[in-house]
Amino acid sequence: MARKFADITFTPAVRAAQTRYGSRDKNERFEQGKVSGDVLGAMETAFIQARDGFYQATANEDGWPYVQFRGGPIGFLKVLDERTIGYADFRGNIQYLSVGNLAANDRVALILMDYANQRRLKIWARARIVHQEDDPEMLARLEDPNYRAPVERAVVMTVEAVDWNCPKHITARFTDDEIGDVVGPLQKRIAELEAAAIQA
């Protein structure tokens, strides 16, 4: 079990809640685990690289949380090394809530979903904003030349903890491409049968 995520999340208030609701004994194993849980292994890397979006949480100076969905082409969230991930930040609604929050508080939490296979990866990290004039090589490394969206900056994150979450209540959902992979061959076969019927 991974220790780092417990170090970050199991505050005294959380431990008290675990005690009250009878799960403290089960959760202590995370604190005593032999695996640090602060590096990205092959399984986490493959999972991240297959995603086309994730949920990102930040908090402002007053402690108010803000959760935003970040989307792009598959693999736009890139694994730079076993402790570093990043993405090109595309121009959006120009409110800059996440960017502003990160300027005041570099803590960030990500939830990456694979709805079709009912899997979820949580990442806690420290984020920094990188502008073109500060590190053009980093922006070039994170940009996808085939995705035509203006890149305003990059967000580069140092991973502090990762955790695979329980799939119990994840509702299976499918993208158009995932449905197409299943339905496409059926549609092709129907077309072949219809063509054969017309010729008969």
Q: Which amino acid is at 26?
A: K
Buried-exposed string 11-45: b where 16+ CB fall within 10 A, e elsewhere: eeeeeeebeeeeeeeebeebeeeeeebbebeeebe
Q: What is the pLDDT of residue 75?
A: 94
Q: What is the pLDDT of residue 172?
A: 87
Question: Does 200 reside within a domain?
Answer: no
The two structure tokens encoding residue 150: 């203006």
Same domain, 136 and 123: yes
- Comparing 48 with 151, the larger pLDDT belongs to 48
- What's CA 85's distance to the chain center, in Å? 10
Question: Does 196 reside within a domain?
Answer: no
Q: Which domain holds residue 31?
A: 1-35
Question: Does 199 reside within a domain?
Answer: no
Same domain, 104 and 79: yes
Same domain, 14 and 3: yes
Q: Return the percentage of the chain with pLDDT > 90, whole number.
A: 66
pLDDT at residue 1 above 70?
no
Same domain, 23 and 93: no
143 CB contacts (<8 Å, ≥6 apart)?
A: 88, 151
pLDDT in tens, 28-39: 888 887 778 899
The pTM of the full predicted model, rounded to 2 decimals, is 0.88
